[in-house]
Amino acid sequence: RNGDGRAVLRSSVREFLCSEAMHYLGIPTSRAASLVVSDDDVWRDQFYNGNIKKERGAIVLRLAKSWFRIGSLEILAHSGELDLLRRLLDFIIQEHFPSIAMNDSNRYLEFFSTAVSETANLISLWMSVGFAHGVCNTDNFSLLSITIDYGPFGFMDSYDPNFVPNTSDDERRYKIGNQASVGLFNLSKLLQALKPLLDPRQKQLASQILKGYGEHYYSRFTELFKTKLGLLGENENDNYLIAFLLKVSLLC
C-alpha cells in the first residue's frame, strides 16, 4: 500500500464495529469513540489482484487507558536510555498498576509478573472467540494487556489454527494458532528490556515467572472452553474432550 498510513471508510467501519464488539464480549480493548469520513481520496487494491480503485478515506478515534506498549520500553532499552526507561516505567506503574507500591524494590518484578499473567489471559480470550490479531509484534502489544491495534484482524468462520487475517503475512507468522507462542516471544522481549533495571536475583526470578506463562495460558484457555461446553467441576478428561472437539471441528 506504499506506506501512506491512511485508512479507507470500509476498513474504518469494520474497525469501529469490531472494537465495540470485543468490548461487549468482555475482552479488554480500546474503544471506538468516533468515525470521521475524509474528503481525501485513497487508492487501494482491495482484493490484492492488481485492480486499484479510489476510495473514501476515514479516521477512527479510539480511546484507551494507555497506549504504552512493549515496544515503548524496548526502544529505550535498546538505545541505552536507562534513566528515561526507569522514569517511564515508574510512571506507568504509578498510573495504571495501583496494587504495586512505588517504594517496593521489587516493583519492576511485580509489574512483569502482572504482564505475564494478563497477557496469557488476553490471548486466551482472543482464542475463545476465534479472534486473530494479525500483527502481534511488540509495538502492537499493550503493557496493560488490552487489544489496542485493529489493522489486519479477523474472526475465524470455522476452526482453523492456520487462519491468517493478514494477506501480507506470507510466512503465517501471526496465524491464530501461533498467538500464544507469539505472546511468549513478546514477553521475553519485555523481560529483555527490563533486565538493565533488575539485579541478578530479580533477573532469575523474572525468568522463572516467564516460564510460568504457558501454565497461565493453558489454565485460562481450559477454563474458558469448559465454560463454553457447560462442564462443571474438575474431570481429568475435560482437556481431552476440548482437544478432541477442536480436532473434530478442524476435520469438519
Supply the residues annotated as catalytic.
Answer: 139
HEC string for 13-69:
HHHHHHHHHHHHCCCCECEEEEEEEEEEEEEECCCCCCCCEEEEEEEEEEECCCCCE
Question: DSSP assignment, residue 154?
Answer: E
Query: Residues 6 or more apart from 121 whose CB is under 8 A from it?
Result: 145, 216, 220
Half-sphere exposure of 160 (CA within 13 A, CB side): 12
Order the strands of the 7-8 sheet from edge to edge.
7-8, 53-63, 31-44
How many other C-beta atoms lie within 10 A of the C-beta of residue 197? Answer: 18
For residues 58 and 44, give the distance between their C-alpha atoms in angstroms, rounded to a whole number: 13
Which of 125, 119, 116 lies closest to 227 in space, CA to CA? Answer: 125
CA pseudo-torsion sign 61, 65, 71, 77: positive
C-alpha cell at 219: 489454565
Instruction: Tell me if 126 sits within 8 A of 179, measured CB to CB.
Output: yes
